[in-house]
């Protein structure tokens, strides 16, 4: 049996996570102060760092909910330390989501923590464990958009505003897409406990491909336009405009050069 100090160590915040959070804070400061001659580089590091932080919190939410639902093994696996290196599939958990952002500006978390479902009793608990991750992204989106809908961005540098708007877009897309009832995504995990055993067995072989299938479908122009129109409408309701998210992504893609933002003259 583990000692009390060892159990506390299983739940202590990892230096790896603290390092990622520190990089995010420092590069956020660099964006705010226009410290770099190439503003896209700190924007890229700030948004990517914040995105990885949100991925860690997403998986932590799954693990913490599982812990309180009866799966005490999540502590032994290191899931409560917020260390992304402890995840079952680092490729799916961190690498692929970052690639999705770079390639398509889409926030799509991958699979990660392994929950021992046999230790958990009650369909509602299983559903809540799956829902905890995307709900964390939704909360993160609220935090990112709060300065917009609270009119708290007066005097804030435009580049930081755009970076925050793009980060908000990633969180909104992550919450929406991960709630889709597609095998391999959390949305399916929410409804799976309520399906018959026969249906679950039929669907199970497709789970490893659900994440990639969603990303591939989003590359279809008509689907992509429809989806982002819906996301833009939701963000507008939260005070984030398409102007904010567009230029945020343009700055994020620093390898394309520093964008020149046109001067907009408002009608009198």
End-to-end CA distance of the chain: 74
Number of Cβ within a 10 Å radius of residue 106? 22
Cα-Cα-Cα-Cα dihedral of 212, 223, 239, 135, to 10°? -40
d(CA 140, CA 126): 22
d(CA 114, CA 207): 14
The verdict on whether 59 is a catalytic residue reads yes
Catalytic hit among 37, 59, 116, 192: 59
Sequence-distant (≥ 6) Cβ neighbours of residue 258 within 8 angstroms: 38, 39, 40, 251
Q: Which contacts qualify for 178-182: CB closer than 8 Å, 24 or more apart?
A: 178/108, 178/109, 178/133, 178/134, 178/137, 179/131, 179/134, 180/214, 182/210, 182/213, 182/214
Sequence-distant (≥ 6) Cβ neighbours of residue 74 within 8 angstroms: 63, 64, 66, 67, 80, 113, 115
Residues designated as active site? 59
């Amino acid at each position: 049996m583990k000692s009390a100090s060892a159990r506390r160590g299983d739940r202590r915040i990892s230096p790896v996570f603290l390092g990622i959070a520190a990089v995010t804070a420092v590069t956020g400061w660099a964006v705010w102060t226009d410290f770099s001659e190439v503003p896209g580089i700190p924007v890229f590091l700030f948004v990517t760092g914040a995105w990885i932080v949100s991925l860690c919190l997403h998986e932590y939410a799954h693990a913490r909910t599982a812990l309180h639902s009866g799966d005490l093994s999540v502590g032994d696996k290191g899931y409560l330390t917020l260390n992304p290196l402890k995840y079952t599939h680092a490729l799916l958990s961190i690498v692929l989501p970052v690639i999705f952002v770079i390639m398509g500006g889409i926030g799509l978390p991958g699979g990660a923590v392994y929950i021992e479902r046999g230790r958990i009793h009650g369909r509602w608990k299983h559903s809540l464990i799956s829902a905890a991750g995307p709900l964390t992204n939704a909360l993160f989106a609220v935090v990112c958009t709060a300065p917009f809908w609270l009119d708290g961005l007066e005097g804030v540098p435009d580049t930081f505003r755009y970076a925050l708007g793009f980060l908000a877009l990633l969180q909104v897309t992550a919450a929406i897409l991960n709630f889709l009832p597609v095998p391999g995504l959390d949305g399916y995990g929410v409804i799976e406990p309520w399906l018959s055993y026969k249906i679950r067995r039929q669907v199970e072989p497709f789970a490893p491909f659900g994440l990639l299938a969603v990303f591939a479908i989003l590359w279809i122009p008509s689907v992509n336009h429809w989806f982002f129109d819906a996301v833009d409408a939701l963000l507008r309701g939260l005070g984030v405009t398409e102007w904010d998210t567009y230029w945020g992504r343009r700055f994020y893609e620093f390898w394309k050069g520093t964008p020149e933002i046109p001067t907009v003259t408002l009608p009198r």
